[in-house]
Amino acid sequence: MSSEVIRVENLSKMYSTREGDFHALDKLSFAIEEGGFVSIVGPSGCGKSTLLQLLTGLLEPTSGQVLIDGIEVRKPLPEKTGVMFQDATLLPWLTAEENVAFPLSLCGKDKKESQLRARDLLKLVGLGDFINHRPAELSGGMRQRVAIARGLVRDPRILLMDEPFAALDEQTRFKMGEELLWIWQETRKTILFITHGLTEAIYLSDTVLVMGTKPGRIIEVIPVDLPRPRTFEMIGSEFFGKARNRIWTLIQEETEA
Amino acid sequence: MRLSVLLGAQAGFFVLLAIVWESISRLELVDPRLLPSFLTVLGVLGDLLTQRDFLMDLGITGLEVGVAFIIAAPLGVSIGFLLGEKLFLGQILSPMFHFMLSVPQSIFLPIFMLLLGIGFLEKVVFGVTHAIFVIIVTTTAAVRSVPRDYVTVARTFGATPRQIYLRVYLPAMLPVVMTGLRLGMIFNIIGVLLAEMDASRAGIGRRLFSWGEGFQLDLLLAGILLVSALTIIINEVMRYCEHRAARGHVA
């Protein structure tokens, strides 16, 4: 029996504006199995971020529901989902270690224990020598690594990532992708990854969900049948090119429509 | 090494100023009755600091400034926080506080004297009204400057509203609030001294004023030096705290 950790059922979100109701998301349904790596791509304004806010429990759906581990999400569930944003959103007055331990301190974990856990995770993301640095003293890539460690600190089964590497340069972005795959393999998390980068989406994922716009909905599910571990050479393969072209065409059609 | 050179040069400049002052007076380029020499003034200051009733005056002014600050700081920060946090309230009241900041408070002194008489309370109230508006306005700005992202991230990690206030808002606002408090303290001292110089039975402001009226320039200059030094020390101590609070915050 396969176990679904994320299940989205007929999820809709409507906003009332002066021009009338605006359908941000219309009856989205999909499921992600435990240990899966799923990416969501789509044109700007297709409701990707709204979807992420619904998954994290920051927003309430107009209709439909999000189930995480079979539980309906109505508020943030930090013990089940770790979240990462486009911006590292570290708290600038805390050190790297304190930032990673921040979610633990919110739920009243023992300070010494939290410290050790934060240090272990910083080592995992390759920042063992930077535990006492503040965000301002770290590079963009390093800050995102701290954010990954913070997302993992409560040992959630799921990582929700909203364009986490979009603000990084191409080289750093590729390296971060590699590291994320490695961490994913090590920790066996389920990852939902929202991105603008088609290459990034295909390279990292088992499945790519393509979203259409007005209203936001899923228009195609593209399985990525490439073996793991993924290698740089695969990006040049025929399958990769076809998948990329397919997604590109879908998104173009959506933006022109 | 470079810092010590810089500090040396700065100290040198002050010494030079003192020498110029001393020379102008000694060479009688200016009538020494109008400009007593630096060393004379220092001697007078030394004497003053041994006089009990002078120290009492200094103490009273210090007490007025202190009490005014203890009232203005928490009140100003609370009002400023409410205005920044409660959007509706802020929209209604913020402009008023903003305008009050630009009105010279000194024009209200006669009203305070009529309402409260001349004395300790009047000085304290005048200090409070000087300090509070700048504290309110900077605290409101501090609340509004807290990036929404910090709050979002704290919420996704399960922070309660109380934790969001204490663990996110408070530290995020702290550097700006500290700046507001420091400016408030400067305004507060201006207010108290102004009230003392205008009409008073005690305090350092009254002393300065009467020395001026009596052409006692050696005493007047000694008083000015002392008050200047004390206010600079207060300001620098507060700035140090401000600096500590801003550690890590990106400017």
Do A69 and A163 lie in one domain? The reply is yes
CA distance A14 to A218: 16
Judge if A114 and A163 occupy the same domain: no
Instruction: Inspect the interface and report whether the beta carbons of A85 and B154 lie closer than 8 Å.
Output: no
Q: Is pLDDT of B249 > 80?
A: no
Residue carrying structure tokens 């899966």: A36
Residue A86 lies in a domain: no
Handedness of CA A201, A205, A206, A208 (dihedral sign): negative
Residue A161 shares a structural domain with residue A151: no
Domain with A139, as residue range(s), is 91-155
| A176-214 residues labelled b (16+ CB within 10 A) or e (exposed) | bbebbbebbeebebbbbbbbebbbbbbbbbbbbbbbbbe
Query: A142 and A22 share a domain?
Result: no
Nearest residue on chain A to B247, alpha-carbon basis: A93
- Stronger pLDDT, B87 or A38, i.e. the higher one: A38
Residue with tokens 């029996």: A1
Are residues A222 and A108 located together in one domain of the fold?
Answer: no
> What's the average model confidence in pLDDT over B119-130?
93
Domain assignment present for residue A85? The answer is no
Q: Are residues A139 and A29 in the same domain?
A: no
The mean pLDDT of A117-130, rounded to a whole number, is 92
- pLDDT, position B200: 86
pLDDT digits (tens, 9 = 90+) for B166-177: 999 989 999 899
Q: Are residues A73 and A124 in the same domain?
A: no
Count up the domains in chain A and report the number. 2
Mean pLDDT for the stretch of residues A105-134: 91
Does residue A163 sit in the same domain as residue A137? Answer: no
Residues A60 and A164 reside in one and the same domain = yes
Of the candidates A57, A92, A106, the beta carbon closest to that of B159 is on A106
Same domain, A187 and A251: yes
**Residues of chain A contacting B154 with CB distance shorter than 8 Å:** 102, 106
Residue A101 has φ and ψ, to the nearest 5°, of: -80, -10
The two three-digit tokens of residue A40, written as one number: 């969501």
Facing A93 at nearest CB: one of B156, B159, B248:
B248
CATH code of the domain containing A243: 3.40.50.300
Give the three-state DSSP class for A171.
Answer: helix
- Whether residue B64 contacts residue B192, with contact meaning beta carbons closer than 8 Å, is answered with yes
Domains of chain B: 38-245 (1.10.3720.10)
Task: State residue B251's pLDDT score.
Answer: 37
Percentage with pLDDT > 70 across chain B: 98
Provide the token pair at A80: 């089940």
The answer to whether residue A216 neighbours chain B at the CB level (below 8 Å) is no
Q: Is A90 helix (H, G, I), strand (E, B) or coil?
A: coil
Question: What single letter denotes the amino acid at residue B108?
Answer: F
Highest mean pLDDT among A22-36, A168-182, B80-94, B176-190: B176-190
CB contact under 8 A, B152 and A89: yes
Q: Is A130 on the interface with B (CB under 8 A)?
A: no
Last residue of a domain, one of A107, A126, A155: A155
Q: Report yes or no on A239 lying in a domain.
A: yes
pLDDT for A196 beyond 60: yes
Please give the pLDDT value at position A146: 94
Can the peptide bond before residue A229 be classed as cis, meaning omega within 30 degrees of 0?
Answer: yes
- pTM here is 0.78
| pLDDT given for residue B157 in this prediction | 93
Chain B residues in contact with chain A using a Cβ-Cβ cutoff of 8 Å: 149-150, 152-160, 163, 167-168, 171-172, 174, 247-250
Say if the Cβ atoms of B167 and A78 lie within 8 Å: no
Q: pLDDT (tens digit, 9 = 90+) per residue, B196-212? A: 998 888 899 999 999 99
pLDDT number for residue B227: 95
Is residue B250 scored above 60 in pLDDT?
Answer: no
Q: Average pLDDT over chain B, rounded to whole? A: 91
What does the alpha-carbon distance between residue A222 and residue A240 come to, in Å, rounded to a whole number? 11
Taking CB atoms and an 8 Å cutoff, what residues of chain B touch A106?
154, 157-160, 163, 167
Residues A149 and A162 in one domain: no
What is the average pLDDT value for chain A, to the nearest integer?
Answer: 90
Write down which residue in A103, A125, A155 finishes a domain: A155
Alpha-carbon separation of residue A206 from A34, A81, A251, B108 (angstroms) = 12, 19, 19, 73
Could you please report the per-residue DSSP string of B135-189? HHHHHHHHHHTS-HHHHHHHHHTT--HHHIIIIIIHHHHHHHHHHHHHHHHHHHH
Average pLDDT of the residues in A10-29: 86
Query: Residue B102: its pLDDT value, please?
Result: 86
CB contact under 8 A, A106 and B149: no
Length of chain B counted residue by residue: 251
Three-state DSSP class for residue A52: helix
What would the mean pLDDT of B101-107 be, rounded to a whole number?
86
B249 chain-A contacts, CB cut-off 8 A: 92-93, 136
Banded pLDDT at A1 (limits 50, 70, 90): very low
What interface predicted TM-score (ipTM) does this complex get?
Answer: 0.85
pLDDT at B141 over 50: yes
Nearest to B249 among A78, A92, A103 (CB): A92
Q: Distance between CA B77 and CA B139 in Å, rounded?
A: 6
Quote the tokens at residue A29.
């349904």
Residues A164 and A239 in one domain: yes
Could you identify the residue written with the tokens 């009856």? Answer: A27
Q: What is d(CA B215, CA B66) in angstroms, rounded to the nearest whole number? A: 30
Reading phi first (left if > 0) and then psi (alpha if -120 to 50, else beta), residue A57 is in left
What is the arithmetic mean of pLDDT over B32-43? 91
What is the spatial distance between Cα B103 and Cα A192, in angstroms, rounded to a whole number? 56
From residue B171, give the alpha-carbon distance in Å to each of A34, A104, B79: 38, 18, 18
Mean pLDDT over A164-171 rounds to 88
According to DSSP, residue A73 is labeled P
